Amino acid sequence: MSKLEMLSPENHAIALVDYQPAMYQGVQSHDRLVTFNNVQVLAKAAKLFGVPTIVTAVAQDTFSGPFMPEVSSLFPGHTVIDRTSMNAWLDAKFREAVYSTGRKKIAVAGLWIAVLTLLALLALLALLPLLAALALPHAALGKLLLQFVEPVAQALLILLQIAHALIALLAALPVAP
């Protein structure tokens, strides 16, 4: 597998992060229905093409509510990984699910752009030993941050762009045997 090849059903996995009722409530920057539909299309495409899919939620029983049943019902054999931390990578079950796919690339979709940026940066810092991590902002509601903390949000969006550029550069480096 070339590190520069495009994503295909055979070379990547998808992680769907925190599509839950409480997470949608504060969103004012995007049409919630568009995002709701986008993640369903993404999940249905993953299922159709046999892409390993990881579904994870934060505090689904105590605060945030269940992961979107419209998505989780597409994967009846999957258990939604319920976490106590907003940072999915801190959860051992999530990390194990990522590693168990055996894939070297992961596409991450979630409601909060900060979560996606964090996962991409973890990949850059070699905490996530994958060849590439790709955030899918079209299924995210990160512009909400712009309404409240514009300078921080702008910095996060710039970091995401830098992270994607650095991942592409790292992908071009030879891998030690």
The structure's pTM equals 0.71
Name the one residue in this structure whose structure tokens are 């512009």. 143
Quote the DSSP letter at residue 115. H
**Is the Cβ–Cβ distance between 125 and 154 less than 8 Å?**
no
Rounded CA gap, 118 and 96, in Å? 18
Backbone torsions φ then ψ of 172, nearest 5 degrees: -80, -10
Cα dihedral 19/68/31/52 (nearest 10):
60
Spell out the domains of the chain, with CATH numbers in brackets.
12-171 (3.40.50.850)
**Residue 83: predicted pLDDT:** 92
Q: What is the distance of C-alpha 117 from the center of its chain?
A: 9
CA 134, CA 124: separation in Å to the nearest integer? Answer: 11
Pull the structure tokens for residue 171.
Answer: 């992908």
Place of tokens 């071009």: 172
pLDDT in tens, the chain (177 residues): 555 677 788 988 888 988 888 887 866 667 788 888 888 988 999 999 999 999 999 999 998 999 999 999 999 989 999 998 877 877 889 989 988 999 878 888 887 765 555 555 555 444 444 445 555 554 554 444 344 445 555 555 666 666 666 666 666 666 555
Gap between the Cα atoms of 81 and 90, Å rounded = 12
